[in-house]
Every structure is written in C-alpha cells, then in structure tokens.
Structure 1
Amino acid sequence: MLMHLNKHIATRFERCAGVSPNRLELLCKLTVGQISQSDLQKAVSIDPAAVTRHVQQLEAEGILLRTRSESDNRITLVQLTEEGRSKVVKFKEEKERFLEELQADLTESERLGLIQGLQKLNSQIQQMK
C-alpha cells in the first residue's frame, strides 16, 4: 500500500509542482552552494546514472551549471544558476501547497499518528540495512 501511495503521490506532485520529487531533492541539496557531482549523488537517494541524467537535463534547461574543479580535473562541480535558485523557491512553494492539499482532510491527531508511523517505518528500514 505504501509503494502504491508513493507512486501516486510522486505522479500527482510532479503534475502539480512541475518537478519530480527526486529532482526537487537534488535541487534542494544545491541551495547550499557548489558541490561535486559525486557528493551530490551521495547526498540524495538516487543512483549515479540517474543523477548524471538529471544534472545534464537541468544544465540544458539553464537551471544549473557544471564546471571542472581547478585542483582536480576529474571532479565535476555543480551549482545552481540564478534562474535555478528562483525555480527552487517556486518548487518549494508548490511542494508546501501540495502537502497542505494532500493532508487537508486529516485531523491534527491523524497527522501526528501518520508522522509517528512513518518515523517508525524509517527507523525500521535503517536497522534493516
């Protein structure tokens, strides 16, 4: 049921916000500044090939910029462009709106119970690794 719900939430979120949850997570990691592409991949739960595809597509859209490290030419550095920074702000606003709409029919008690249940599942999955 969680996997089914996750699939539907991701699809609806992308339609609403104009960005996939994975891509938004990747972009949010870049708000701290320039980061190596390998460190970016480690910071998000996305496989390396997918990170490379996202980075290439986002660069083509003018949202981020890739450069080579001056100290080590093997390292690719990634950073948001100004356009990218403004898009991230808009994406975050859409995310908040989406989450509010998603939870609109839940009582405060139900929201708290959901959060606690998800935290327990997250803790359990961490122990399983």
Structure 2
Amino acid sequence: MTLVNKSKLLYQLKLANQELVSRFEKSTGFSITRYEMLLFINAQGPCSQTQLQQELGIDRAAVTRHLKRLQDLSYVTRKRNDLNNREIYVQITDLAQKELADCEQHHESLEKDLYFGLSDEEEVQLLTLLNKINK
C-alpha cells in the first residue's frame, strides 16, 4: 500500500472514530473512556489506578482526571492503600453499577443511535482487526 493510501486509511479511521465516539457519548451519557473504566472496575473489582492506566493505555494524569470526574458523580470511591500510601484503590459504587445496567438494558434503543452500518459479524471482524493493530 502506498503512503498516500495509508494516509487515506488512517484519516478515514480518524473520522470514523470521531463520529462513532460522539454517537456513543450522546446515546449513553458517558464518555467512552469513563465507560470503559467503569466496565473494567465493575468486572475486576477494586483495583489500583495503575491497573486502570495499564488496562486503558492512558497516562496517569488522564486516569486521575477521569476518576475525579467519576468520583464527583458518585460513580467511584477512591481510597489510599494502608500499606503503601502512594497507591490508590478505586471501587465502583452501587449508583454506577445501576447506570451500567441501565445502559445495557437500553442497548436495544441505543442500537439505532450507534448503528455503524455493519453486520454483527463485520463488527466482530473489525474489532479483531483493531485489536491486532493495537497490540
């Protein structure tokens, strides 16, 4: 593939990302990063901010900013590790669990807002390809 074609491919990915993230955030009321954080904490249980940083591939300052916002919304609690004061553990609240469940329950109505123009099989293929690129 020529450099020009690679540039066009990357630019189309950028545009698709902007559009789809915007649709997701309008439909769910969550930023995509905060939603992924909540999903991880919900599945993992209480975890350190470092674990979140590694899982999401974002810098420490971004994790702190997102968690501050989630804490302000009463979606997470943060507590320092008694044995290592520099380490902070994050736990999801009942309110956040309810909000996540509501999002999942309303997935059917969100589906049309988040319609990508792809079949379920194509969405799985795209996810597989993107995971391959991001490794």
- Which TM-score band (shorter chain)? 0.7 to 0.9
1:119 corresponds, among 89, 109, 128, to: 128
Cα distance in 2 between the residues matched to 1:55 and 1:22 = 10
* 2:17 aligned with 1:9: no
Q: Structure 1 residues 124, 53: CA separation in 2 closer, same or farther (over 3 Å shift)?
A: closer
Residue 47 of structure 2 contacts residue 90 of structure 2 at CA under 8 Å; is this kept in 1? yes
* 2:71 aligned with 1:69: no
Which runs of 5 or more structure 1 residues have no equivalent in the other structure? none
Task: Detail structure 1 runs of 4+ shifted over 6 Å in the superposition.
Answer: none
Aligned equivalent of 1:80: 92
Q: Structure 1 residues 122, 95: CA separation in 2 closer, same or farther (over 3 Å shift)?
A: same
**TM-score, length-scaled by structure 2:** 0.77
2:40 corresponds, among 21, 29, 41, to: 29
Residue 34 of structure 2 contacts residue 70 of structure 2 at CA under 8 Å; is this kept in 1? no
**Distance apart, 1:45 and its partner CA:** 2.8
Which runs of 5 or more structure 2 residues have no equivalent in the other structure? 1-11
